[in-house]
Amino acid sequence: MCGILAVFGCVDNSQAKRARIIELSRRLRHRGPDWSGLHCHEDCYLAHQRLAIIDPTSGDQPLYNEDKTVFVTVNGEIYNHKDLRQTLKSHQLRTGSDCEVISHLYEEHGEDFIDMLDGMFSFILLDTRDKSFIAARDAIGITPLYLGWGHDGSIWFASEMKGLSDDCERFISFPPGHIYSSKQGGLRRWYNPPWFSEHIPSTPYDPMILRQAFERAVVKRMMTDVPFGVLLSGGLDSSLVAAVANRHLAASEAACQWGSQLHTFCIGLKGSPDLKAAKEVADYLGTCHHELNFTVQEGIDALEEVIYHIETYDVTTIRASTPMFLMSRKIKSLGVKMVLSGEGSDEIFGGYLYFHKAPNKEEFHEETCQKIKGLHLYDCLRANKSTSAWGVEARVPFLDKEFINIAMDMDPEWKLIKPDIGRIEKWVLRNAFDDDKNPYLPKHILYRQKEQFSDGVGYSWIDGLKDHADKQVTDSMLKHANCVYPENTPTTKEGYLYRTIFEKIYPKNAARQTVPGGPSVACSTAKAVEWDATWSKNPDPSGRAALGVHAAAYADAP
């Protein structure tokens, strides 16, 4: 993962302005510690902080076309770059970088090439011939991007809010699946899959099609010139990622460089459910497993740094980001620069426990659509920024464009949770990998029920955060929270604490507006309450509100 920053239309293009751009770009260096680049053209600036994953020796950015009239700065990975190169035989590409194809595709197709890209990406492209520019973000928003406006009329783009928040009075989270065009004067959507519309899909469920699509999604993400691993919590999603990667590793290009034993990583409090489950999966797969421990106090001590990096005050995101942030530091220390992760499955297949209460397939499908559309504000933000804080790149196979289109074009009747006939949450996915002849995972792991990540790392983690917040935030402070924070007013002491830290780091009104209001996931969503009013009585936004649905009901919590 890299850090990108671009500014267009600066009134001041002096040496002092160049120095300021460099200074702001350095704020993103954690995302790309391997090299820095800056291109200036009159009143336009493109800056780049590189994390070298593909072609580490010659892929420095900004990249450009043959006559250096088109420049591009990119954060992300283009998995089909080799196929795209074959369509560009009249062009001379000078590096092995997967991102170099972008400037040449623009030359061939203008602004309409973006849907040709298979990958996760945010990029800004400058055409110096007419000083026009475009910026685009991948379909789901796996990579972050912000758009801002300066007082002098300049337009800014940055991978993280901290790169532009001091110099722009107004800024927003760049919407996923969109392009900004200076020629056409604003944002427009480039990603328009059928499931975005209101119709309910009707394609029959085919387990082999789903399985093969996911295997392709994992394999293409094993494209790397550096050591990589898998984040393994022991739950269904990360276990499937690890199982597929392990099965295909020996035949991959990565194995020639780094060996054919897969590395897996898990973090938790001592004795946590995730550590136990992950070790069981790792032992079954025969991976080189790294078990990382942290204490509640270590997590609390990291909170301010976590909020600085992930740029949100959302409670569930911070709870889950903190262990991931700590784990990423350990992973980096082991020399690993890229990991595969299991985000997105719950949104696609209705894996959150409140989906048990979905009244019909229509509402089930509509809710999964809304969950996917919001991923860039929650799970994608967490996975990307928690790992990028330490120069580690997270890739997410479940959010592969082809896989999502297949999974979301399926008749949602198959996704409905029907315990009476043995269909638990995400049954279609579990069934697709239920292979008696050549098993991917043991049955009891394949059909293991979901844990919320922030609970799975250790049940006392959330309790410890609440106890800490209770000592920092008084009853009076919470009582008058609506006076201090009239927008997105925190309703718990934990939420108040995180909001206080966030506002100290990012004090502008535009910053707080990049965080959506209300609890974000699991059983506190409006839809969950609509499906079962009893959940409205639980103020905690974690999956603990699903007591009675979860088979274990946390009875064995340490």
Angle between helices 379-388 and 303-310 (to 10 degrees): 110
Query: What residue spans of 250-302 are helical by DSSP H?
Result: 253-258, 273-285, 296-301
Place of tokens 């780049």: 48
Check whether 420 has a pLDDT greater than 50: yes
| Structure tokens given for 499 | 């909001």
What is the arithmetic mean of pLDDT over 462-476?
A: 97
At 548 the pLDDT is 57
At 537 the pLDDT is 65
Rounded CA-CA distance 139/145 in Å is 12
Residues paired with 63 in a beta bridge: 72
What is the arithmetic mean of pLDDT over 259-277?
A: 93
221: enclosing H helix or E strand: none
Check whether 558 has a pLDDT greater than 70: no
pLDDT of 477-510, one tens digit each? 999 999 999 999 999 999 999 999 999 999 999 9
Is 373 strand, coil or helix? helix
What is the arithmetic mean of pLDDT over 11-30?
A: 94
At 523 the pLDDT is 45
Report residue 524's pLDDT band, with 50, 70 and 90 as the boundaries: very low
Check whether 352 has a pLDDT greater than 80: yes
Contact 417, 358 (CB under 8 A): yes
What is the arithmetic mean of pLDDT over 325-341?
A: 97
Backbone phi and psi for residue 314, each to the nearest 5 degrees, phi listed first: -65, 130
Cα 391 to Cα 3, 86, 331, 344, 558: the distances in Å are 10, 31, 10, 22, 33
Percent of the chain with pLDDT over 70: 93
Instruction: Give catalytic residues, as residue numbers.
Output: 2
What is the arithmetic mean of pLDDT over 331-342?
A: 96
pLDDT of 66-97, one tens digit each? 999 999 999 999 999 999 999 999 999 989 89
At 239 the pLDDT is 97
Check whether 457 has a pLDDT greater than 90: no
Q: What pTM value is reported for the model?
A: 0.94
Report residue 181's pLDDT band, with 50, 70 and 90 as the boundaries: very high
Q: How many C-beta atoms lie closer than 10 Å to residue 253's C-beta?
A: 11
Contact 339, 265 (CB under 8 A): yes
Considering only residues 455 and 206, tell me which one the structure prediction assigns the higher pLDDT. Answer: 206
DSSP string, 432-491: HT--SSS-SS-HHHHTPPP--HHHHT-THHHHHHHHHHHHHS-HHHHHTHHHH--SS---
pLDDT of 226-235, one tens digit each? 999 999 999 9
Contact 371, 317 (CB under 8 A): no
Q: Which of 48-62, 104-118, 308-322, 409-423 has the lowest mean pLDDT?
A: 48-62
Residues with Cβ within 8 Å of residue 490, at least 6 apart in sequence: 313, 478, 481, 496, 498, 499
Rounded CA-CA distance 522/236 in Å is 17
At 454 the pLDDT is 54
Peptide bond just before 62 cis, omega within 30 deg: yes
Angle between helices 401-408 and 207-220 (to 10 degrees): 160
At 554 the pLDDT is 33
Q: Which domains does the chain have, with CATH numbers?
A: 3-192 (3.60.20.10), 207-546 (3.40.50.620)
Q: Report the chain's mean pLDDT, rounded to a whole number.
A: 92
Q: Which of 116-125, 194-203, 465-474, 547-556 has the lowest mean pLDDT?
A: 547-556
